[in-house]
Chain A
Amino acid sequence: MKIVLNKDRMLIEREQDVILFRNRVKEYAVKIGMSLVNQTKLITAASELVRNMLKYANGGMVLIEVLSQGRDSGIRLVFTDKGPGIKDIALAMKDGYSTGKSLGIGLPGTKRLVNEFDIKSTVGEGTTVSIIKWKNG
């Protein structure tokens, strides 16, 4: 069972917020004693998702949670935006696919960097992406 130990919220509105947000995530990751490699993976994944949020939805809200499950602890990030939504999630999760002018590795790449990845989207309403990185995962 996953127990939420700590909750924090951050509003993302400008590209400068990306750096502040990454630093905040790093603080939490350091606090639970996550290894440097896992920290780097988590922050990179967070950076990709927050950038997507800014690019496609002009920003949104991120929930940062410290989780505990048995002996392991971890961090969950939930990205919520009110953007246009994603029509075909399966396609968006494919390597090399992008509607923007990017490399198209954002979503599938991000999924590889974390332990749990969940995406929900409704066209016209917005997108919610949730990721978990365990300390020893």
Chain B
Amino acid sequence: MDRIPILRMGRLLLVTIQIDLYDRLATNLETDLVQMVNKTEAKGVLIDISALSIVDSFMGRILGNIGSMSKIMDAETVVVGMQPAVAITLIELGLELKGVHTALNVEKGMELLKEKIGNYDEDLTEDDEDSTE
């Protein structure tokens, strides 16, 4: 079955959506991501939608759900790379993407996540030291 790959980077999960998602693919991504947050104890989720030419109310709801579900699992979600035409359309449609943070691009999104979850690199090395002692 088709799946959107989820990459793990330290305590972050990265997802790049590069194709227009049909419904099953989007709902799969939602469950996969929440399970990955649980399994990897991720503190942040970054979703790159720069390749999406359309975000309709269904896709908007999926993004919102991912944000709220991750929040309950103690992880922050940032959606990055939205195209201007998509942003205009979303607001006119009446979708505000509540529950997720947004950033202009991947780089700014990473900065925002690091700010939100503290300096995770330090935490990670501390944990490593603890475990070796």
Cβ–Cβ contact B89 & A113, under 8 A = yes
B97 to chain A, nearest CB (A): 11
Name A's interface SS: helix
Cβ–Cβ contact B92 & A103, under 8 A = no
A75 to chain B, nearest CB (A): 15
Cβ–Cβ contact B89 & A15, under 8 A = no
Cβ–Cβ contact A43 & B94, under 8 A = no
Max chain B C-beta neighbours (<10 A), residue from A26, A44, A102, A105: A44
A72 to chain B, nearest CB (A): 20
Cβ–Cβ contact A105 & B85, under 8 A = no
Residues of A101-137 at the interface with B, using a CB-CB cut-off of 8 Å, are: 102-103, 105-106, 108-110, 112-113
> B65-87 toward A: CB 8 Å interface, digit per residue (1/0)?
00000000000000000011110
A contacts, CB < 8 Å to B: 15-16, 18-19, 22, 26, 36-37, 39-41, 43-44, 47-48, 51, 95, 102-103, 105-106, 108-110, 112-113
